[in-house]
Structure 1
Amino acid sequence: MPLDEALAALLARALPLAGTESVPTLQADGRVLAQDLVSALQVPAFDNSAMDGYALRCADVAAPGIALPVSQRIAAGSVGAPLQGGTAARIFTGAPVPPGADAVVMQEDCVAQDDGTVRVQTQPHSGQNIRRAGEDIALGSTVLHAGTRLAPAALGLAASIGLEHLPVARRPRVALLSTGDELVMPGQVPPEQLPPGAIFNSNRFFLRALVQRLGCELTDLGKVPDQREATLAALREAAAGHDVVLTSGGVSVGEEDHIKPAVQALGSLDLWQIAIKPGKPFACGRVGQAHFLGLPGNPVASFVTFAVLVRPFLLRLQGVRDVTMPSIAARADFAWPKADKRREFLRVRRNAAGGLDLYPHQGSGVLTSTVWGDGVVDNPPGQAIAPGDTVRYLPFSELAA
């Protein structure tokens, strides 16, 4: 199945979760807005100075070098009196521009005199260095829309219109399960004593981090033994009180892969062969009332499949509208002469010349490539790459955010 078709089918199942909550704006980083934010004021609320300097009337400075008496001093947080004609007001950044003034000349263009006047060394123009009321936010305007995932700048914007709390979508509750008798947790045995056939469970670590970075509440249920009854029991526990059950490994058709029949016994399952590399087997369905998502066991295949399928699914559950994969057009500084029939995600990193270098080993088990690299090239099926070609680059900073 083509990736775009699989993603569309998956997102069709991802109805936004019911329920919202109000959280302090200071604690809303990464949360998803549940309602539009409409401003009850204009920002700035008043005309104010963009510089430390002198507020004056342009008509009083017909040419550079004119000296004006300083009639008042206006600091941020205070309000000055109407400006007397033929005078200037010492003013500081953020302070209200006094009525009658139509420009602010920055202090670097002025010379304060010992006699209490200021010599203006430039000829000002109307509106100079004045931030007009409402130029940032108009009264009654929508500053942030429902479905926006809140980043630090958005929190500042919400605070600028006086919002102490924000309405946000409920966090998806995700249960994580690892499958495979071969999996060993770091710390159980020294690396040099790892039994033959055993491997350390790397998927559990990066999947935990990815799920939590997407703003979900995670329950890590550990490893499931490769036994049918144990798998059934683990899935029942995972489905209880969770919105999503996420597994890695165990979704192929081997005799020791018990996830598929267990999910089918407890709910429903679609097993898709996605036309991507790395990553081909992907399972989705339901266990009880919970969504089920099953990732391949190979680490890089699991990482890539999470980024292109699970990430947008979890964001859509929170009401995020735009879940498209962010991409950048970049120059390939490598050759990829052998095109594959599947859509490939090649691990690369940006170089000092502004191009992309390719990790030499692109195997689905080479997790080193995801640390060495800072993103992937999304290469269409049947597409060879020559040095200098423009390619579609997906940074990990976005895919894992």
Structure 2
Amino acid sequence: MKKNQKLMCAKIAQKKMKESISFINKSEKISIEHCQNRIIAENIYSKYNIPFQDNSAVDGYAINFCQKKKIKTFILVGESKPGKPYNKKLKENEAISIYTGSYIIDKNKINTVLMLEDCKISKNKITIKKKFRVGQNIRKKGEDLKENQIVFRKGRQIRTVDIAQLLSIGQKKIKVYKQVTVGVLSTGSEINQTKKRQNHLIFDANKLTLISMLKKIGCNTVDLGTIKDDFQDTKKKILNNIPNCDLLISSGGVSDSDTDMIGKVLISHGKINFWKLAIKPGRPFAFGEIKKTPFIGLPGNPVATIVTFLMLVVDYIKVLSGNREFPDRSRYISSGFSMKKKLNRREWIRGSIINKGKKQLLEKYKTTGSGIISSISQSEGIIEVEENVDYIKKGMKLKFLTFEDILS
């Protein structure tokens, strides 16, 4: 790795990462109860019209209204219940009681459903009290979905609310892409691998945080443990786990000091596509491969680890997983603060939305250092400031992403 190499901008790095993806085209069939957050591997079509049949949208009275005769009083001759429709033709002066969801079959000749409160009932007769239109309160056959209509396209991530739609068409199993398996490794001789505090050592805040975020976006994970800054140990740990993983992610060990081993292993047994980025936090960020398995080396400071994962790695993994429908959920909100910023560097500032009167403003966390973990835990998301900005003024529109939106 060249110590004085030119820093790559974030946009080019993101483009190179996505262009390098060799899609993992493996699929499996799973039951609907286990499909949340999985990626659909084939288009899903409705086998039926949904609803299957015309049905009532309300509790009330169904009639076969003749506009020429304009009858206002009808004789009650029966009822239609969910699962047990009325099975005769209605005459123009007849009505039936009907309940929400009750089918209206063709032979009924029903063309209108009146709400209970719009009618006056006396013994076996109803009289219409209010104006109405022909066709009201009837859900039409195929109104939601037509037979053979595409319900969801290949590459969609299944949300909780999608499950109701799948169940409505009688889907019991669906074909999904297999989950990406990611190996996660922490490096650094300074990491305390015990539960008790030890002088000169720090607890590992990175590995389990990364594993948690990876699970949130639908990955399988392999905990590769924590290793000291030793070339042979690092090499052995990485090479031994390549067959078990679709992607390897490490934290720490990617700066240019003599004790950082990730870059050395990448050079000796694979290749580095890029290494340093013009970003803050997280300038040391390695992307390469070993034995055709992609490798991402994140910086070691916890805030830099989390922020670069969120802003550079999440979308890469979504594409690797087969996800084709993840929307940009960013918002542009006026800045409630001012600050200087280095030109030609993208900055990801931790912050939150605050309400000032009727306005929403962005407020940055009070300190921005890469080791200040509270800047993550006490913030709602990330304020992204592009390379061409050298000063943030109050009122300037800035891009904002919540942590939850990034991981959804």
TM-score by length of 2: 0.91
What is the aligned partner in structure 1 of residue 227 from structure 2? 224
Match of 1:112 among 102, 114, 121: 121
What is the aligned partner in structure 1 of residue 61 from structure 2? 54
Match of 2:262 among 259, 264, 271: 259
Change (3 A) 1:104 1:393: same
Match of 2:283 among 270, 280, 283: 280
Contact 1:339 1:382 in 2 (8 A): no
Provide the alpha-carbon RMSD of the alignment.
Answer: 2.0
1:245 maps onto 2:248 in alignment: yes
Partner amino acid for 1:222?
G
Q: SS of the residue aligned with 2:244?
A: coil
Q: SS of the residue aligned with 1:55?
A: strand
Contact 1:175 1:245 in 2 (8 A): yes
Match of 2:367 among 339, 354, 361: 361
Q: SS of the residue aligned with 1:257?
A: coil
1:100 maps onto 2:102 in alignment: no
State the distance in 1 between where 2:140 and 2:400 align. Answer: 41
Contact 1:239 1:289 in 2 (8 A): no
Contact 1:250 1:297 in 2 (8 A): yes
TM-score by length of 1: 0.93
Partner amino acid for 2:37?
G
Identity %: 28
What is the aligned partner in structure 1 of residue 298 from structure 2? 295
Gapped regions of structure 2 (runs ≥ 5): 1-7
Change (3 A) 1:372 1:108: farther
Partner amino acid for 2:139?
R
1:221-277 CA-partner distances (Å, limit 9, x unpaired): 110111111111111122122111110010111111011111222222234222221
1:236 maps onto 2:239 in alignment: yes
What is the aligned partner in structure 1 of residue 42 from structure 2? 35
State the distance in 1 between where 2:24 and 2:69 align. Answer: 64
1:345-400 CA-partner distances (Å, limit 9, x unpaired): 12121224433222111222222122211111111124233232322111211112
1:118-148 CA-partner distances (Å, limit 9, x unpaired): 2322122022111111111111111101110
What is the aligned partner in structure 2 of residue 205 from structure 1? 208
Deviation of 1:62 (Å):
7.4
Match of 1:146 among 137, 147, 154: 154
State the distance in 1 between where 2:277 and 2:378 align. Answer: 26
Gapped regions of structure 1 (runs ≥ 5): none
Partner amino acid for 1:73?
E
State the distance in 2 between where 1:252 and 1:283 align. Answer: 9
Contact 1:374 1:396 in 2 (8 A): yes
Contact 2:55 2:103 in 1 (8 A): yes
Partner amino acid for 2:137?
N
1:12 maps onto 2:15 in alignment: no
Contact 1:56 1:89 in 2 (8 A): yes
Contact 2:54 2:141 in 1 (8 A): yes
1:165-193 CA-partner distances (Å, limit 9, x unpaired): 010001111111000111125x610xxxx
State the distance in 2 between where 1:74 and 1:283 align. Answer: 67
Give matches, 1:119-198, under 5 Å.
Answer: 119-185=127-193, 188-189=195-196, 194-198=197-201
Partner amino acid for 1:270?
N
1:373 maps onto 2:373 in alignment: no
Residue-pair matches, total = 394
Deviation of 1:325 (Å):
4.3
Deviation of 1:324 (Å):
6.0
- When structure 1 is superposed on structure 2, of 67-76 and 46-55 the one drifting more is 67-76
Contact 1:362 1:369 in 2 (8 A): yes
Contact 2:335 2:393 in 1 (8 A): yes
Partner amino acid for 2:334?
R
Contact 1:72 1:89 in 2 (8 A): yes
Partner amino acid for 1:119?
T
What is the aligned partner in structure 1 of residue 4 from structure 2? none
State the distance in 1 between where 2:309 and 2:202 align. Answer: 21
Q: SS of the residue aligned with 2:334?
A: strand
State the distance in 1 between where 2:278 and 2:145 align. Answer: 46
Deviation of 1:7 (Å):
0.8
State the distance in 2 between where 1:355 and 1:261 align. Answer: 45
State the distance in 1 between where 2:160 and 2:10 align. Answer: 32
Change (3 A) 1:226 1:62: farther
Q: SS of the residue aligned with 2:76?
A: strand
Contact 2:192 2:198 in 1 (8 A): no
Q: SS of the residue aligned with 1:240?
A: helix
Change (3 A) 1:375 1:310: same
State the distance in 2 between where 1:335 and 1:394 align. Answer: 19
